[in-house]
Amino acid sequence: MKTIALANHKSVNRVQRELYLGYNSFRTRRSQPSAWNAFCWKKNKEKGTEGKGALPALVQHASQEYKSLSTEEKKTLLDEYTSYRESKVFGLHATAKSKVNDITETLKAVENEVHFFFSM
């Protein structure tokens, strides 16, 4: 750790913290989905409400509906919510750096083709 800290001009504590946090983020999930979270997600998706008042309004109006759900219905909701979360969390995102790299590689390929075409 000292070698990494000296090579990158950082403190040993910062290197330890960054290494630990990086390792921990790959090791565990932040939270487990629950039937209540799945129910809230489904209701919010149906109504399309947003903002700070969405959750309190949902809790006031839908808590009785949630309590009346059977365990099979809760399991179905949880499965649907889990598949949604997986597609959302692990989706591919194009960053600015990857876009620049793609453009650079494309331009290099075009330049190589042009040089090959005119050298014949």
Residue 114: predicted pLDDT: 86
Encoded tokens for 53: 């008042």
Task: State the pLDDT confidence band at 1, using cuts at 50, 70 and 90.
Answer: confident
pLDDT at 19 exceeding the cut of 60: yes
Any idea where the domains of the chain sit in the sequence? Answer: 1-30, 33-95
* The dihedral formed by the CA atoms of 111, 116, 118 and 120, expressed in degrees to the nearest 10: 180
Percentage of the chain modeled with pLDDT above 70: 82
* Alpha helices per DSSP H over the chain: 2-8, 12-27, 35-47, 54-67, 71-89, 96-119
Question: pLDDT tens across 69-107, in order?
Answer: 899 999 999 999 988 887 775 556 678 888 888 888 889
pTM over 0.85: no
Encoded tokens for 101: 């790299």
